[in-house]
């Protein structure tokens, strides 16, 4: 007997998917997080799996963990106090950024406050040129002075981002060595070690995010290892990465930026797997937990990848599943500002004290409280009975806001929901505009503990007619860990003209990346089978400021066929911009290589079709669209393949609650997924 376990930690709950390989059965669970004692919730969950489903800790062969600790740290701005060492004259690089405002037409728009304030940024003399040569030596005394000044300001760590370090990291590594001697109590990260990409702003932002989340991520992963060892689980734990792959916990403690979208990327990978299984090619995934709402696109059955994804207020410049995160989770707190405007998020109540309706000490109204106040929630225990709803507490919390809004309690609760949906609507429109797609051509896939609660309301606003609720929506991110591949990205900046003479450098660069990738895979990454490699290059026309990623065939590189590479670039450029210029010279900026070791996904049984309409468990009253309405409440386990329901209705299950407004109808497929249609 062996067990494979996927775990995902959010801001409020930690989710478990335990797959019994012998019985071919999947067991799921949710446990409240314990921020004051990280790692304890893992032990609690393992103990419950043992008691309820016969899990044998010694028989666990795989343990894969996805976490939102990193992204929640950034969204809530609860990361480490940092200092930044920059090349003298470039101290303002993160403030200048790309000179763009978040809202170009907003008269009152302002740039977000940076994670490293200006008084903790130190200019260091010394200069590496773009060709990698040294123009001026590193000012080692300036590094020592910066170390002393940073310690005096009480920082927890120092990050280094020198200009042109992508080409020659000698100055960064020398400065790091000095800092480790002068301030051994501080952690130090250098940009060329974290992600050696051209452009100093992108490298600076990446290393800052890595350092900002490092203490909380490392502390959590350390607690996780201790908890597993104490429980008798011998399997080496792995963590999911932003690119949808997995890596060792030991690497995750330092390569923190690679797991900023750990839980969210894992959710998208799990959702893409379920979409393919259900025959859905194009899906818009909506993962709503306790702290954030995350949206992503699945096109032709595959998640979309990219760089520059938004993490709170900041772009992330490492390869990742393209996910846009919004501070609107089920636990996001509603407030009224000084102008009397109702706002929702980004602050979250988390699991402690949690939403007021959880009865754990929370007093401020959240989205979950608003849903409970309207009557959508509170009819059954939540999260595998770990939470019992108290509607009276929700009413008291919402009533405090109602006074300031000048509205009734029900109207205020519905206003909170509408503001949250509006926030999501704006961000989803940005995402679909970036890809140039029509949301009406996609199926919305809400998941996470609060995804089914709000998904249909968002679909209605977006005009999306199709919604699919997975059989176990609350634990899709944990499922993503079970099907994730061992995967890592490697990059090398080349910056050469795309001419035949450059093929020697291109082939040599890819050979070096391949050697680095194969070494990475061999060094204890938990994978011993065959691996596949994919190649690409970041290319642009001469005079362009930004490049596009172009997939390459290994045979082109082996044959030194630059003409094929350039032709692929022209095709890709036309595909994206509807324009290409075959006569214009092109440039290769970066070489990229992705190495992947494939994991065998679990096979889920199909359910036989049943006839007859499902019977509701009872009827309840819900405040919807400004009026009280009576509607049926169904148990999810009572809905079987072939059966249909229609809204307005509520469907409750152990891991989530589906709120189905009027106008929607749905059917259950052979895997237990609920396919909904608006206006059908």
- Could you tell me the two tokens for 332? 């996001």
SS (H, E, C) 285-307: EEEECCCCEEEEEEECCEECEEC
**Dihedral sign (CA 338, 341, 344, 350):** positive
- For β-strands 238-240 and 60-67, DSSP reports them as parallel
486-597 has which CATH code?
Answer: 3.30.1490
pLDDT of residue 1: 63
What pTM value is reported for the model?
0.82
CA neighbor of 328 nearest in space, from 287, 354, 291: 291
How many helices (DSSP H) and strands (DSSP E) are in the chain?
17, 35
Cα→Cα distances 336→4, 218, 421, 618, Å: 46, 36, 17, 36
Q: Where are the domains of the chain?
A: 79-213, 356-418, 486-597, 618-678
SS (H, E, C) 651-679: EECCCCEEEECCCEEEEECCCCCEEEEEC
Q: For 73-103, how does the pLDDT look when each residue is reduced to its tens digit (9 = 90+)?
A: 887 888 999 999 999 999 999 988 877 766 6
pLDDT of residue 11: 67
What is the largest distance, in Å, between two alpha-carbon atoms of the chain?
Answer: 81
CA neighbor of 212 nearest in space, from 110, 12, 322, 69: 69
Residues 6+ apart with CB under 8 A from 187: 156, 157, 158, 211, 214, 215
Cα→Cα distances 207→12, 180, 192, 414, Å: 28, 17, 9, 41
pLDDT of residue 231: 83
Cα dihedral value 326, 331, 336, 337, nearest 10: -50
Beta carbons of 373 and 389 less than 8 angstroms apart? no
pLDDT of residue 12: 75
| Residue ranges of the chain with per-residue pLDDT less than 50 | none
pLDDT of residue 353: 87
């Amino acid at each position: 007997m062996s067990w494979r376990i996927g775990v995902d930690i959010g801001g409020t709950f930690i989710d478990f998917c335990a797959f019994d390989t012998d019985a071919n059965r999947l067991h799921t669970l949710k446990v409240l997080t314990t921020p004051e004692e990280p790692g304890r919730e893992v032990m609690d969950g393992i103990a419950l799996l043992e008691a309820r489903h016969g899990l044998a800790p010694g028989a666990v062969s795989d343990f894969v963990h996805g976490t939102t600790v990193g992204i929640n740290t950034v969204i809530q701005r609860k990361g480490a106090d940092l200092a930044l060492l920059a090349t003298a004259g470039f101290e303002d690089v993160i403030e200048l950024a790309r000179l763009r405002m978040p809202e170009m037409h907003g008269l009152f728009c302002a740039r977000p406050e940076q994670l490293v304030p200006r008084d903790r940024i130190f200019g260091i003399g010394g200069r590496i040129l773009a060709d990698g040569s040294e123009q001026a030596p590193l000012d080692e005394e300036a590094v020592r002075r910066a170390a002393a000044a940073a310690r005096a300001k009480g920082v927890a760590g120092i990050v280094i981002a020198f200009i042109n370090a992508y080409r020659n990291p000698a100055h960064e590594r020398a400065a790091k060595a000095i800092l480790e001697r002068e301030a051994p109590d501080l952690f130090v990260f250098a940009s060329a070690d974290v992600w050696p990409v051209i452009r100093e702003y992108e490298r600076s932002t990446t290393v800052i995010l890595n350092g900002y989340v490092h203490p909380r991520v490392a502390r959590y992963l350390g607690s996780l290892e201790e908890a597993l060892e104490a429980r008798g689980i011998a399997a080496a734990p792995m963590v999911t990465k932003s690119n949808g792959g997995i890596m060792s916990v030991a690497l995750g403690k330092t390569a923190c930026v690679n797991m900023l979208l750990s839980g969210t990327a894992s959710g998208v990978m799990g959702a893409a797997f379920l979409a393919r299984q259900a025959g859905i090619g194009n899906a818009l995934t909506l993962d709503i937990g306790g702290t954030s709402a995350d949206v992503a696109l699945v096109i032709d059955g595959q998640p979309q990848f990219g760089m520059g994804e938004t993490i709170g207020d900041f772009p992330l410049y490492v390869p990742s599943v393209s996910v846009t995160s919004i501070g609107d989770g089920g636990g996001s707190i509603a407030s009224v500002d000084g102008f009397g405007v109702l706002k929702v998020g980004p602050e979250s109540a988390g699991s402690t004290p949690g939403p007021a309706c959880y009865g754990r000490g929370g007093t401020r109204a959240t989205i979950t409280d608003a849903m409970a106040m309207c009557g959508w929630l509170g009819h059954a225990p939540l999260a595998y009975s770990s939470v019992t709803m108290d509607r009276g507490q929700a009413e008291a919390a919402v009533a405090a806001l109602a006074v300031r809004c000048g509205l009734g309690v029900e109207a205020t609760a519905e206003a909170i929901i509408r503001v949250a949906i509006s926030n999501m609507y704006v961000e989803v429109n940005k995402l679909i505009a970036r890809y140039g797609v029509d949301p009406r051509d996609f199926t919305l896939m809400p998941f996470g503990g609060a995804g089914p609660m709000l998904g249909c309301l968002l679909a209605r606003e977006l005009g999306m007619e199709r919604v699919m609720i997975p059989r176990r929506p609350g634990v899709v991110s944990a499922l993503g860990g079970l099907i994730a591949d061992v995967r890592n990205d490697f990059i090398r900046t080349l910056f050469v003209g795309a001419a035949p003479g450059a093929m020697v450098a291109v082939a040599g660069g890819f050979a070096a990346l391949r050697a680095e990738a194969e070494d990475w895979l061999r060094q204890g990454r938990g994978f011993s089978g065959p691996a596949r490699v994919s190649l690409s290059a970041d290319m642009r026309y001469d005079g362009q400021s930004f490049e596009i990623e172009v997939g390459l065939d290994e045979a082109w590189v082996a044959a030194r066929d630059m003409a094929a590479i350039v032709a692929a670039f022209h095709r890709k450029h036309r595909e994206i911009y509807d324009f290409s210029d075959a006569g214009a010279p092109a440039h290769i900026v970066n070489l990229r290589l992705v190495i992947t070791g494939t994991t065998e996904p679990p096979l889920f049984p199909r359910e036989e079709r049943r006839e007859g309409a499902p019977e509701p468990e009872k009827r309840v009253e819900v405040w919807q669209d400004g009026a009280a309405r009576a509607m049926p409440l169904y148990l999810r386990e009572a809905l079987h393949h072939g059966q249909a329901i229609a809204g307005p209705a509520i469907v409750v299950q152990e891991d989530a609650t589906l709120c189905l407004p009027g106008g929607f109808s749905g059917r259950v497929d052979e895997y237990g997924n609920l396919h909904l249609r608006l206006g059908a």
